[in-house]
């Protein structure tokens, strides 16, 4: 019996490592680009994929702005990145994407203090119910609207900096998403409901918004040196579900432990979109596993919906 138990255990452990070495193994960014003299902004860079992305960019020599809400955690991340990379050009700037005024203040401060912007990485995201400071649904406000306004306010600096890129972290969860414009207009939110299930669905809706935003942005950037990309990072172990209830965490923990991979793997497609040469003709595309996804669903390439979302977002942000 003991021998059989050890054999079963060995098979399970071996199967686990085989799964991670094959099916769950994600491609790595192959770019050897150096970024000395370049400036990058990474939102939500104090933890998870964002921190890993910022660390890689700093290691390549970039001046990296950690755009984060939590000052204490962000300043700790700055020191860790500087220590790890030896690059002292890593700084924290306050940004709360749940406040349009904070987004404007961040953009104003950045434009006053920084002469160029080469990479804007719209990485931050959450899956939390509630309302933003401006009365929008929290998930819609942070995952889409805050990044929309941030990008809009920084576009001229991106254009003036030569070849530059906007990279927005989306998700294949967009497949379960939809954009209900009636609900958005009436309630300033993507859907109604406050349970974790409702938050999960609104997260899917927000990821569709990310992809439609990038699709429309690419059209508006034609004729400039700025390109943009959205992406699916993979199933990654991050803190995005930290606000879930105890029972949801209990249900999801074993699935995440077995089938989700580390944040370093999760940052690779972001880095590919930010750094890989020769992909400018793919501006507006959705990437996964360091490659464009060619069979993306039609709702993510809906010209009318992309334009309507852009115009409604302009109105919400006071840009129209």
Tell me if 257 sits within 8 A of 235, measured CB to CB: no
- Residue 120: CB atoms within 10 A of its CB come to 28
CA 89, 93, 96, 100 torsion: positive or negative? negative
> What are the structure tokens assigned to 284, written together?
């507006």
Three-state SS sequence of 145-183: HHHHHHHHHHHHHHHHCCCEEEEEECCHHHHHCCCCHHH
Helices (H), the chain: 2-21, 48-59, 71-85, 100-113, 138-139, 147-160, 181-187, 196-220, 246-259, 263-266, 268-275, 303-317
So which residues are the catalytic ones?
A: 203
């Amino acid at each position: 019996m003991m021998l059989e138990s050890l054999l079963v255990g060995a098979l399970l452990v071996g199967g686990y490592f085989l799964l991670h070495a094959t099916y769950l193994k994600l491609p790595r960014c192959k770019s050897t680009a150096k970024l000395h003299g370049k400036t990058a902004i990474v939102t939500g860079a104090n933890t998870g994929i964002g921190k890993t992305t910022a660390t890689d960019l700093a290691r390549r020599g970039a001046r990296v702005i950690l755009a984060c809400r939590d000052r204490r955690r962000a300043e700790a991340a700055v020191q860790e990145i500087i220590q790890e990379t030896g690059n002292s050009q890593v700084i924290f700037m306050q940004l709360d994407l749940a406040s349009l005024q904070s987004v404007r203040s961040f953009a104003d401060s950045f434009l006053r203090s920084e002469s160029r912007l080469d990479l804007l990485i719209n990485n931050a995201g959450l899956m939390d119910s509630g309302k933003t400071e401006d009365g929008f649904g929290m998930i819609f406000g942070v995952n889409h609207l805050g990044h929309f306004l941030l990008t809009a306010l920084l576009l001229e600096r991106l254009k003036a900096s030569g070849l530059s890129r906007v990279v927005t972290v989306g998700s294949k969860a967009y497949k379960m998403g939809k954009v209900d414009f009636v609900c958005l207009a009436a309630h300033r939110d993507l859907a109604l409901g406050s349970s974790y299930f409702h938050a999960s669905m609104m997260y899917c809706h927000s990821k569709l918004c990310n992809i439609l935003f990038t699709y429309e942005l690419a059209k508006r950037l034609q004729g400039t040196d700025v390109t943009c990309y959205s992406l699916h990072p993979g199933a990654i172990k991050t803190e995005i579900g930290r606000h879930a209830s105890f029972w949801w965490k209990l249900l999801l923990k074993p699935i995440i432990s077995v089938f989700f991979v580390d944040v370093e793997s999760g940052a690779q497609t972001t880095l590919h979109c930010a750094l890989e040469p020769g992909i400018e003709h793919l501006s507006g595309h959705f990437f996964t596993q360091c490659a464009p996804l060619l069979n993306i669903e039609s709702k993510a390439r809906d010209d009318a919906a992309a334009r309507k979302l852009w115009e409604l977002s302009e109105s919400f942000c006071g840009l129209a």
